């Protein structure tokens, strides 16, 4: 039976807001996520669905090791990441490949694509590094001449492919994608969805996608988790959730797409 790549246990998380009065400064917790329990198994495709303000971004920050929860524990490949020292945490988090939401902002415009792709491979030798880059380019259907190009010279779809290539080039256990099609036109969205599924099939890694778009979600996941106001209100097989949603909020999401 596949093990858990990512597991959240009773996670409550948010931010500390500093309020300054006339004579004092007060720190107040702003809770965004409440009692989150979530499991992503080895090789599984899961989508987290929610509108703006549902807590998706905060949940990603918690999983990526960027925001320590107020309560609860976060496990990546069996390690409680927030109990680890920083160096050990970074080592564990290398098992996550992450694709951020905006392909136009996520790539340094002054760095060539070849350098962008080689950066995660610093621990490898030069010859192995070059071979790995070429293999990944073939996987994401990009020509080798993009290595000498700058991000501004690429189309939106090509930039997204570069982001995906950078996320998987170091052979992670799980690929996490934040709204992977939201910045693309409809025809390019279909190509990127097909690419993500091809990567899942060939590399046999887990894929966690965060999106507000049920139309995209149904093609990128086998299991769906619905997030509303910081709480998981429904989860299950993606087809069942779309065809027979149990929660009123989920029914509204389904009826609107």
Contact 46, 225 (CB under 8 A): yes
CA atoms of 33 and 219, how far apart (whole Å): 27
CATH ID of 4-95+172-256, from 3.90.25.10, 3.40.50.300, 3.40.50.2300, 3.40.50.150: 3.40.50.300
| CA contacts within 13 A on the Cβ side of 1 | 2
Q: Is 220 left (phi over 0), alpha (psi -120 to 50) or beta?
A: alpha
Q: List, for residues 136-169, the tens digit of each pLDDT value.
A: 999 999 999 999 999 999 998 999 999 999 999 9
Q: Find the mean pLDDT for residues 234-254.
A: 92
pLDDT value, residue 21: 66
CA separation, residue 81 to residues 27, 36, 95, 220 (Å): 25, 16, 12, 27
> Facing residues of 211 across strands?
49
What is the chain's alpha carbon radius of gyration, rounded to the nearest angstrom?
A: 19
Tell me the percentage of the chain whose pLDDT exceeds 70: 96
Q: E strands along 79-192, which residues?
A: 79-80, 96-99, 174-178
pTM, to two decimals:
0.92
Look at residues 5, 75, 44, 61 and name the one whose alpha carbon lies nearest to residue 238: 44
Predicted confidence (pLDDT) at residue 220 exceeds the cutoff of 90: yes
Sheet holding 79-80, edge to edge: 25-41, 4-20, 71-76, 79-80
Contact 44, 206 (CB under 8 A): yes
Q: List, for residues 100-139, the tens digit of each pLDDT value.
A: 988 788 899 999 999 999 988 876 665 688 889 999 999 9
Q: Which residues contact 192 (CB under 8 A, 6 or more apart)?
A: 157, 160, 161, 164, 180, 181, 184
Place 172 in a pLDDT band, splitting at 50, 70 and 90.
very high
């Amino acid at each position: 039976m596949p093990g858990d790549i990512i597991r959240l246990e009773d996670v409550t998380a948010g931010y500390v807001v500093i309020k300054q009065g006339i004579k004092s400064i007060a720190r107040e917790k702003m809770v965004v996520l409440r009692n989150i329990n979530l499991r992503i198994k080895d090789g599984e495709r899961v989508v987290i669905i929610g509108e703006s303000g549902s807590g998706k971004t905060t949940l990603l920050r918690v999983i990526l090791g960027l925001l320590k929860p107020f309560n609860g524990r976060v496990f990546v490949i069996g390690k409680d990441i927030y109990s680890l020292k920083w160096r050990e945490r970074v080592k564990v988090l290398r098992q996550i490949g992450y694709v951020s939401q905006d392909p136009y902002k996520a790539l340094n415009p002054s760095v060539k694509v070849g350098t962008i792709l080689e950066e995660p491979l610093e621990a490898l030798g030069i010859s192995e590094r070059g071979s790995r880059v070429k293999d990944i380019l073939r996987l994401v259907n990009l020509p080798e001449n993009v290595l000498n190009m700058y991000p501004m010279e690429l189309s939106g779809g090509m930039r997204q492919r570069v982001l995906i290539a950078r996320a998987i080039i170091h052979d992670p256990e799980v690929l996490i994608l934040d709204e992977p099609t939201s910045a693309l036109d409809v025809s390019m969205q279909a190509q990127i969805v097909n690419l993500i599924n091809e990567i899942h099939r060939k590399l046999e890694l887990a894929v966690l996608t965060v999106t507000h778009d049920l139309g995209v979600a149904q093609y990128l996941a086998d299991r769906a988790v619905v997030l509303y106001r910081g709480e998981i209100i429904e989860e299950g097989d993606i087809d069942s959730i779309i065809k027979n949603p149990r929660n009123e909020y989920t029914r509204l999401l389904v009826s609107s797409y």
